[in-house]
């Protein structure tokens, strides 16, 4: 578990008692998720804390409603030892992945259970779009599909294409959310839904998933190149997202293509022109089978060059989600699980 992982857009007060307590609590909860019910001694042995610290951790987690006492066991002379267990019924989160045409939502729990993904086609008329109504409906539909109570949803994480202000409460620049507030979106949603809400760039969420569950686990630093209808990137430096001075480090779609790319795509001026969704569709129309895959691979290799100027990580990986008529790609990381990590819900080490 990466104890440094924080909800997107939050600042760290590393070294303060509250920060240390939060880190201990997450590690303690993760131990219960990974190993099942434990006594205080078991928690001490796994987490490496003292008995008083373990007791404080469990007290706080019980008060938060994520841990419960589950009986006692006889041990050494004296009082029986209390057994602590993680509560998997609450609190819950909902992860939302949204683009211009469709909203996808799923319930997220502390154990990383694979809950059904609900897909909702969004209205084409801008006047019919409404951020609060769409998110509220997503919570209800996802909860119904998972067989859980919407009232137990405490946290919502929304992944979307485009630039999201790192502060989480400021500006949102995207063409995929017509009629959604461009400023104050997080405050608007939290006030209306009475839940904690995080809004994050979808490629940054994918990087969190890679760090927790995918190729990123093998590297101290890595870059992720995302190919879909748009082109994006994210950079993980020692477990932290690198956003750049103004938060737009991953907005690489409009970087100029290298000179070598002009031999493959003479009309391409930007990476979007080279490997974006429309460019791949055009390439697909001109080639098929191995010829198409080889041509696309050459373009992707050239796209990595300008994007690497933004950062110099040790490793790299790529993911994508193109239209069905385009090239089949590897399955994108689960936005539900990456959103769960982003929301501070510790994942289980057990595979999904």
How far is it, in rounded angstroms, from Cα 48 to Cα 59? 17
Judge contact between 50 and 44, C-beta under 8 A.
yes
The rounded radius of gyration (Å) of the Cα atoms in the chain is 22
Tell me the two tokens of residue 352. Answer: 């999904």
* Axis-axis angle for helices 202-213, 335-342 (nearest 10): 90
C-alpha distance from residue 153 to each of 66, 89, 121, 132 (Å): 13, 10, 23, 15
Where are the alpha helices (H) located in the chain, listed in sequence order? 17-35, 40-47, 51-63, 131-146, 185-193, 202-213, 271-275, 277-286, 289-307, 335-342
Q: Which long-range contacts (CB under 8 A, 24 or more apart) does 282-285 make?
A: 284/325, 284/326, 284/327
Helix, strand, coil abundance in the chain, percent, nearest 5: 40, 20, 40
Tell me the two tokens of residue 180. Answer: 């959604």
How far is it, in rounded angstroms, from Cα 122 to Cα 101? 5
Q: Which are the contacts of 335, defined by CB distance < 8 A and separation ≥ 6?
A: 95, 97, 104, 106, 159, 202, 205, 206, 209
Strands 81-86 and 92-98 turn out to be unpaired
**Residue 246 pLDDT:** 75
Burial class (CB in 10 A: 0-12, 13-18, 19+), 298: middle
Q: What angle do CA 284, 290, 295 make, to 5 degrees?
A: 55
Residues listed for the chain: 352
How many Cβ atoms sit within 10 Å of the Cβ of residue 115? 21
How far is it, in rounded angstroms, from Cα 52 to Cα 344? 24
End-to-end CA distance of the chain: 15
Coil, helix or strand at residue 184? coil
Tell me the two tokens of residue 275. Answer: 């490997």
| Per-residue confidence in pLDDT tens, the chain, 352 aa | 333 344 444 444 455 677 788 888 889 998 998 898 999 999 999 999 999 999 999 999 998 888 999 988 876 666 788 999 988 776 789 999 998 889 999 999 877 788 999 999 999 898 999 999 999 999 999 999 999 999 999 999 999 988 887 665 667 888 778 889 888 889 999 999 999 999 988 999 999 889 888 888 888 889 898 988 889 899 988 888 888 877 788 888 888 998 999 999 999 999 999 999 999 999 999 888 999 999 999 999 998 876 665 555 555 555 554 433 333 333 333 344 444 444 444 333 322 3
Please report where in the chains the tokens 């990123």 appear, as a residue.
Answer: 216
């Amino acid at each position: 578990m990466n104890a440094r992982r924080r909800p997107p857009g939050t600042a760290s007060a590393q070294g303060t008692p509250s920060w240390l307590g939060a880190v201990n609590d997450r590690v303690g909860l993760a131990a219960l998720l990974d190993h099942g019910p434990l006594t205080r001694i078991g928690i001490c042995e796994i987490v490496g804390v003292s008995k008083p610290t373990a007791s404080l951790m469990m007290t706080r987690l019980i008060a938060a409603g994520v841990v419960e006492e589950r009986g006692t066991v006889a041990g050494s002379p004296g009082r029986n030892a209390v057994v602590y267990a993680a509560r998997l019924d609450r609190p819950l989160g909902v992860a939302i992945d949204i683009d211009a045409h469709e909203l996808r939502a799923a319930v997220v729990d502390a154990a990383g259970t694979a809950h059904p993904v609900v897909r909702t086609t969004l209205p084409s008329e801008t006047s019919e779009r409404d951020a609060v109504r769409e998110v509220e409906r997503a919570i209800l539909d996802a909860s119904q599909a998972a067989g859980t109570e919407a009232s137990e949803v405490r946290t919502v994480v929304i992944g979307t294409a485009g630039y999201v202000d790192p502060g989480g409460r400021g500006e949102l620049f995207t063409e995929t959310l017509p009629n959604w507030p461009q400023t104050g979106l997080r405050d608007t949603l939290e006030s209306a839904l009475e839940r904690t809400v995080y809004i994050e760039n979808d490629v940054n969420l994918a990087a969190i998933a890679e760090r927790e569950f995918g190729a990123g686990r093998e590297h101290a630093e890595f870059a992720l190149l995302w190919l879909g209808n748009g082109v994006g990137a994210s950079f993980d430096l020692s477990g932290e997202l690198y956003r750049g001075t103004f938060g737009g480090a991953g907005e690489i779609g409009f970087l100029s293509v290298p000179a070598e790319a002009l031999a493959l795509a003479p009309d391409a001026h930007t990476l979007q022109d080279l490997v974006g969704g429309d460019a791949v569709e055009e390439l697909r129309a001109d080639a098929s089978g191995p010829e198409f895959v080889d041509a696309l691979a050459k373009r992707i290799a050239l796209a990595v060059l300008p994007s690497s100027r933004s950062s110099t990580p040790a490793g790299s990986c790529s993911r994508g989600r193109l239209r069905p008529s385009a090239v089949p790609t590897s399955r994108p990381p689960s936005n539900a699980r990456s959103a769960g990590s982003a929301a501070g819900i510790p994942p289980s080490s057990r595979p999904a």
